[in-house]
């Protein structure tokens, strides 16, 4: 496949992933699926906006740039027809780096949140973090330490895990585009693609 076509595939994949991350982060503002009585009852990492800014907003730019790469050759430059395309490929590497930073931020925030566990009300009606260092992950009976909101531990774990996994996939896709963009910069859009009658020559 040509580098421009491959970049388009990457761009198309990044958009639903970004939307998913934005949704997850928004849902986390509703602990257990209901509006919080007080914003201090929401886990701190939710406010770091890893899903909305990192894996969401910052991912829109690389996604749109990758999508457009296939057709992005305004007029060439210096009489060299594919030069505009090569320059676009080169710029896409910078956007891929933005994507890696954004998704990487979301991955870090989600890991910290999963490790720490959710903020919830304990039996003594204190709003606190009853877990630490992921000790609740392997001990389902300890989840009862959270009296309210209902189902907060699985809510927290499911949504932050989705953010974590999606962020890792986004980092991988952007990393692929840095390599793809490098190839596109060096040899233009369709290097390595030969007409059928030339196949087997190399
Ligand atoms: C699981 O958590 C409960 C409640 O916090 C605790 O009493 C129990 O010792 C824990 N079990 C293990 C295997 O850590």
Residues 6+ apart with CB under 8 A from 119: 31, 41, 42, 43, 44, 127, 128, 129
Q: Whose CA is nearest to atom 9 of ligand 1?
A: 142
Per the structure, the count of domains in the chain is 1
CB-ligand 1 contact for 132 (6 Å cutoff): no
What secondary structure letter does DSSP report for 128? E
Residues 6+ apart with CB under 8 A from 83: 76, 77
- pLDDT greater than 70 at residue 79: no
Worst-scoring range by mean pLDDT, 37-41, 71-75, 105-109, 178-182?
71-75
User: Would you say residue 12 lies in a domain?
Assistant: yes
User: Would you say residue 200 lies in a domain?
Assistant: no
What pLDDT, in 10s, does the model give residues 93-145?
Answer: 999 999 999 999 999 999 999 999 999 999 998 999 999 898 999 999 999 99
What pLDDT, in 10s, does the model give residues 131-178?
Answer: 989 899 999 999 999 998 999 999 999 999 999 999 999 999 999 999
Q: 141 CA to middle of ligand 1, Å?
A: 7
User: Would you say residue 197 lies in a domain?
Assistant: no
Q: Please answer whether residues 32 and 90 qualify as being in contact, where contact means their C-beta atoms are separated by less than 8 angstroms.
A: no
Query: Could you tell me the two tokens for 9?
Result: 């595939």
User: Would you say residue 42 lies in a domain?
Assistant: yes
User: Would you say residue 202 lies in a domain?
Assistant: no
CB-ligand 1 contact for 141 (6 Å cutoff): yes
Report the distance separating Cα 97 and Cα 174, nearest Å: 7
Other residues' Cβ atoms within 10 Å of the Cβ of residue 172: 12
Report the distance separating Cα 46 and Cα 86, nearest Å: 40
> Higher confidence at residue 41 or residue 82?
41
User: Would you say residue 175 lies in a domain?
Assistant: yes
CB-ligand 1 contact for 139 (6 Å cutoff): yes
User: Would you say residue 168 lies in a domain?
Assistant: yes
Considering the chain, what is the average pLDDT of its residues? 88
User: Would you say residue 158 lies in a domain?
Assistant: yes
Q: Can you give the residue range of the structural domain that contains 48?
A: 3-191
Of the candidates 117, 64, 50, the residue with the CA atom closest to the CA atom of residue 95? 64
């Amino acid at each position: 496949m040509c580098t421009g076509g491959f970049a388009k595939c990457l761009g198309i994949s990044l958009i639903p992933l970004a939307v998913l991350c934005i949704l997850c982060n928004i849902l986390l503002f509703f602990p257990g699926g209901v509006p919080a009585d007080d914003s201090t009852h929401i886990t701190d990492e939710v406010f770091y906006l890893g899903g909305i800014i990192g894996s969401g907003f910052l991912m829109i730019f690389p996604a749109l740039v990758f999508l457009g790469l296939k057709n992005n050759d305004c007029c060439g430059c210096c009489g060299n027809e594919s030069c505009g395309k090569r320059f676009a490929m080169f710029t896409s590497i910078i956007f891929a780096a933005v994507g890696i930073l954004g998704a990487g931020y979301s991955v870090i925030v989600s890991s910290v949140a999963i490790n720490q566990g959710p903020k919830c009300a304990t039996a003594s009606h204190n709003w606190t973090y009853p877990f630490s260092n992921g000790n609740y992950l392997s001990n389902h009976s300890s989840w009862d330490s959270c009296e309210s909101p209902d189902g907060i531990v699985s809510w927290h774990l499911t949504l932050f895990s989705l953010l974590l996994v999606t962020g890792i996939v986004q980092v991988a896709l952007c990393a692929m585009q840095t390599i793809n963009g490098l190839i596109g910069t060096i040899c233009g859009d369709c290097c390595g693609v030969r007409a059928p009658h030339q196949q087997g020559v190399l």
